[in-house]
Chain A
Amino acid sequence: MSTTAWLTTLQFAGVNALFALAIYASLWTGVLSLAPIFFGAVSAFTFGYLAGVTGLSPVLCLIIGVALGAGLGAVTAGLLVRLESHYLAMATIAMVLIGRVVILNLPEYTGGATGTLVPGDLGTWAWLIGTLVVAGYVMSRLAGSRFGLAADAVREDPAVAQTLAISPRRIQFVGFMLSGALGGAAGVFQASFLQYIGPDTFYTHLGFVSLAAVVLGGAFYWLGPIVGAVVFTILPELLREPMGEYDRVVTGVLLVLIIIYMPRGLVDVRRLRLLKARWWRSRASSPSDDGPEPTDVAGPARAEAAS
């Protein structure tokens, strides 16, 4: 692969990271949602329409896209957050599938089946990295904040969270808004890099890759989706030569394998903490010995089995 091809791939890895962070934002509050793909579609087509018809500046469009995404997230949460988790997940998948139908049937705004051309002003490294840094900063500040700990509690055990005076629906509502804002930004960037959007731009494939990125990278810490997105965007490119059109099969197989054998993903803070505890214990029990004793190895493993 040439250097330019690599750079293009990395740019899309960045956009996928934004989508993955958007999925992570609602997963953090215990909701599996592909709605960010839909939010991204709405903001991208709004961007295309505004930039094309009214000549609005792309930066303003990005801000509008983020606000629109957050607003849509709020509306979605208001309507759907009462649903049982299976139905909620399927309803957000349905949103993605319905989005395509709507795009196809509104040709005067979306270009219908032929799609729309959009300006590529924001399709630069500076804008992408800047946005990713802001998103990463926001997520890292939220981790451990009042909202962040409440979100952790709601994801791990909503009933117990309630007895700590936390309202799960309120937390999930905020999660959806956050998810919408990130999805909206991601949609605008996807459009800017492609400079063309059509009915298949924001469809199941994008949703799958973003979700796979979250699952592989780790759905329990904000760095996970970013790492996962980079891996899951580059991997198919590497596989394209030996595997041809079957490269996506690897994505699917990996998704199944990871969820079975590595359910907490690559960036797993819990495992790091377990390893740290084991290391400290081995230091404490055998100060003169370099190697950990067998009992120390069994300790955390037993705790893990019991949990």
Chain B
Amino acid sequence: MQLLAQQLVNGIALGSIYALFAIGFSLILAKMGILNVAHGTFATWGALSSYWLVSEHGMNFWLALVAGVAFAGLLGVLSDLLAFEPLRRRNAGVFAPIIASIGIWIVLLTLAEAFSGPAATSYPTESVPTEPIRLFGLLMLPAQVISVITLVLVVTAIHVLLTHTRFGAAVRAVAVDPRSATIVGVNARRTLVTVAFLAAAIAGLAGILAALSDNNVSSSLGEALLLKGFAAVVVGGYGDIRGAALVGVAIGVLEVLSAQYISSGFRDAITFGVLLLVLVVRPQGLFGERQLVRA
């Protein structure tokens, strides 16, 4: 019982990172209609850039975290300006943005590999307290607590932003039709760029937290997140970021529990099995409202 509770806590902490990543991924998919497979590399670069600031320049971890998040957001904005916007202007169809995002993925991944080198690295141990916190007989690492708190804050903030503000209304208008949105006075360009920044910045945040929890900063960090994030968005449906976030947490729990009770080797396979099952049985997602199956 004690073990199960402890594993649940670990699962929720791991899942928080997946959920965080899924939020940004679903934001771009739902609001901009772009399946951005380069999203994982934004997370990688968030982690790499903050690591570089901490280890090479001795920057305070929290300042480096902010800088890393901003850098990831900047990559998102650049992707939008240099690749997605020209395609949008040309009405380039469904596949062109996916192909362009694969191009961005290649560029950012190659640069990340070259930048990080083959050796595994991690943030200096003094970055964040490592002394476990004891609560009701359960152990929690500070990094885990940070992940969960961050997720709760980000989900709340983004949800309020999208549903209760003028900006949220503008995003919804642009998501439906950028041209008509412009006519009713929404600055479509600025709205899209802001969404691109937010989504990529959240990915960067997820990347930094993943690197912190794993004690490992690597160039392949984003790929794992991409898959988990995709699974969360598929299963949760992309109409509401809360659905994706909830499923992201659930995937983390599922992984930790299956590693504990079934087989650690097939941890990922079980997640993907669930993903495949949902894709086949319920393609609109568990909480999906939008029609994702072709008529």
Contact = CB atoms under 8 A, between A and B. Distances in A.
Direct contact of A and B (CB under 8 A): yes
Interface of A: 27, 32, 79-80, 82-87, 89-91, 93-94, 97-98, 101-102, 104-105, 158, 204, 208, 211-212, 215, 245-246, 248-249, 251-256, 259-260, 263
Nearest to B292: A84
A259 B283 contact: no
B58 interface: no
Contact of B110 (A79, A102, A245): A245
Contacts of A259: 87, 92, 96, 99-100, 103
B95 A85 contact: yes
23 contacts: A32-B95, A80-B280, A82-B294, A84-B294, A85-B294, A87-B279, A89-B95, A90-B234, A97-B227, A101-B272, A105-B266, A204-B223, A208-B102, A212-B103, A212-B106, A215-B99, A245-B114, A246-B110, A249-B111, A251-B103, A256-B83, A256-B104, A259-B87
A94 B227 CA distance: 7
A101 B275 contact: no
Nearest to B35: A86
Nearest to A214: B99
A32 B95 CA distance: 7
Nearest to B294: A84
B37 interface: yes
Contacts of B110: 245-246, 248-249, 252
Contacts of B283: 82-84, 87
Contact of A249 (B83, B87, B106, B293): B106
B113 interface: yes
B95 to A, nearest CB: 5
A174 B82 CA distance: 36
Contacts of B109: 248
Nearest to A261: B86
A216 to B, nearest CB: 11
Given A85-B94, A252-B106, 6 more contacts: A85-B294, A86-B35, A97-B223, A252-B105, A259-B103, A263-B96
B98 interface: yes
Interface residues of B, number: 47
Nearest to A91: B279
B269 interface: yes
A211 B99 contact: yes
B45 interface: no
Interface string B2-25: 000000000000000000000000
A263 B92 contact: yes
A87 B30 CA distance: 12
B99 A86 contact: no
B137 interface: no
B111 to A, nearest CB: 7
A208 to B, nearest CB: 5
Contact of B292 (A79, A87, A215, A256): A87
Nearest to A257: B103
B280 A256 contact: no
Contacts of B268: 98, 101
A249 B107 contact: yes
Contacts of B269: 98, 101-102, 105
Contacts of B185: none
A285 B158 CA distance: 62
A83 B106 contact: no
Nearest to A219: B95
A254 B293 CA distance: 32
Interface in B99-134: 99-100, 102-111, 113-114
Given A86-B35, A249-B106, A98 B272 contact: yes
Contact of A86 (B29, B104, B231): B29
Contact of A83 (B83, B96, B293): B293
A102 B265 CA distance: 9
Nearest to B33: A86
Interface string B245-272: 0000000000000000000011011001
Contacts of A256: 82-83, 100, 103-104, 107
Nearest to B25: A90
B87 A93 contact: no
B197 interface: no
Contacts of B99: 32, 211, 215, 255, 259
Interface in B65-84: 82-83
B286 to A, nearest CB: 14
B107 A80 contact: no
Nearest to A80: B279
Contact of B106 (A102, A255, A263): A255
B182 to A, nearest CB: 21
Contacts of B104: 252, 256
B87 A248 contact: no
Nearest to B99: A259
Contacts of A105: 265-266, 269
Nearest to A79: B280
A266 B269 CA distance: 40
A251 to B, nearest CB: 6
Contact of A260 (B87, B94, B98): B87
A32 B104 CA distance: 17
A84 B293 contact: yes
Contacts of A254: 103
Contacts of A104: 265
